[in-house]
């Protein structure tokens, strides 16, 4: 079901681009925005935010981190969504970025999931916690600034299993520094889990000849997920 949904992402983008709302907004927004669309792949893959340890965990987060077991309770074992920022930093597969006036959409090949960034609107009130939260974006010059809240606490920050709470606040800055390069910076604020904000950086390279392939995690998944 999820895969069917995901593979209709391109159709959704096309429909959005042709929708009256999009056309209206497009007409109103005469100012062109930077183009970050295309297929991108992380340049140097390192799925751990703290490869040498030292994350500023609170006691709550430390207790939770101790239950982390890459062989049994990584949500990825169950093909569940990666959440953020793991979706952006811990995937060795390409992602495609689509842009329409009302959305910036990321389609990840690896976990075959989509995230959408709503442009020029505020966060809704009373958000129901979700895997990817609610992302809103705006252009600050050549940089797409994305603000996300409304997360559930079922995902990991990275591939090492760093936890987060539902209070996590993620701010991302995405900038195309040259034709072939996308720079990504993020800051995580989660006082329940971390004694100070965390930040990270990633570089993606354009893969002009690549297309996003099908990836069905559930097809022949031999790993066992035992939940929490």
Pick 111 or 133: Cβ nearer another protein: 111
Backbone phi, then psi, for 197, in 5-degree steps? Answer: -60, 150
Integer CA distances (angstroms), 25 to 2, 37, 50, 56, 115, in order: 30, 19, 42, 43, 21
Residue 228 makes contact with another protein by CB under 8 A: no
Pick 4 or 222: Cβ nearer another protein: 222
CA distance 72 to 113: 22
Binding mask 27-56 for another protein (x = CB under 8 A): -----------------xxxxx--------
Pick 48 or 118: Cβ nearer another protein: 48
Q: Contacts with another protein in 91-120 (CB under 8 A)?
A: 91-93, 109-110
CA distance 121 to 135: 10
Residue 214 makes contact with another protein by CB under 8 A: yes
The DSSP annotation for 126-183 comes to SPPPBSS-EEEEEEETTEEEEEEE-B-SSS-SSTT-----TT-EEEEEEEEEETTEEE
CA distance 226 to 66: 16
Given candidates 27, 222, 227, 228, which one binds another protein under the rule CB under 8 A? 222
Beta-strand (E) ranges in the chain?
38-42, 95-100, 103-108, 113-119, 134-140, 143-149, 169-178, 181-189, 198-206
Given candidates 13, 39, 49, 77, which one binds another protein under the rule CB under 8 A? 77
Residue 210 makes contact with another protein by CB under 8 A: yes
Given candidates 6, 55, 61, 90, which one binds another protein under the rule CB under 8 A? 90
CB of 88 to another protein, least distance (A): 14
The sign of the CA dihedral 126, 105, 89, 174 is: negative
Size of the residue set binding another protein (CB under 8 A): 31
Residue 74 makes contact with another protein by CB under 8 A: yes
Pick 127 or 203: Cβ nearer another protein: 203
Q: Is 59 helix (H, G, I), strand (E, B) or coil?
A: helix
Q: Is 117 helix (H, G, I), strand (E, B) or coil?
A: strand
CA distance 121 to 112: 26
Q: Contacts with another protein in 125-184 (CB under 8 A)?
A: 159
Given candidates 29, 71, 195, 199, which one binds another protein under the rule CB under 8 A? 71
Binding site for another protein (CB under 8 A): 44-48, 69-71, 74, 76-77, 79, 90-93, 109-110, 159, 210, 212-217, 219-223
């Amino acid at each position: 079901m999820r895969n069917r949904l995901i593979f209709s992402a391109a159709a959704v983008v096309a429909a959005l681009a042709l929708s009256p709302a999009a056309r209206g907004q497009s007409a109103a927004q005469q100012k062109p925005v930077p183009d970050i669309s295309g297929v991108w792949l992380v340049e140097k893959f390192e799925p751990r935010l703290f490869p040498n340890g030292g994350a500023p965990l609170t006691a709550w987060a430390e207790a939770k981190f101790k239950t982390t077991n890459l062989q049994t309770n990584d949500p990825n074992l169950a093909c569940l969504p990666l959440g953020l920022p793991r979706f952006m930093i811990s995937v060795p597969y390409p992602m495609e970025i689509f842009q329409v006036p009302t959305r910036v959409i990321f389609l990840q090949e690896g976990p075959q999931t989509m995230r959408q960034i709503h442009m020029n609107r505020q966060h809704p009130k009373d958000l129901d916690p979700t895997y990817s939260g609610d992302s809103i974006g705006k252009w600050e010059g050549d940089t797409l600034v994305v603000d996300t809240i409304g997360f559930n606490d079922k995902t990991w920050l990275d591939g090492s299993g760093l936890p987060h709470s539902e209070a996590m606040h993620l701010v991302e800055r995405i900038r195309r520094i040259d034709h072939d390069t996308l720079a990504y910076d993020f800051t995580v604020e989660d006082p329940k889990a971390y004694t100070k904000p965390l930040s990270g950086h990633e570089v993606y390279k354009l893969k002009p000849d690549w297309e996003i392939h099908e990836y069905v995690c559930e097809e022949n998944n031999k790993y066992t997920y035992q939940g929490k």
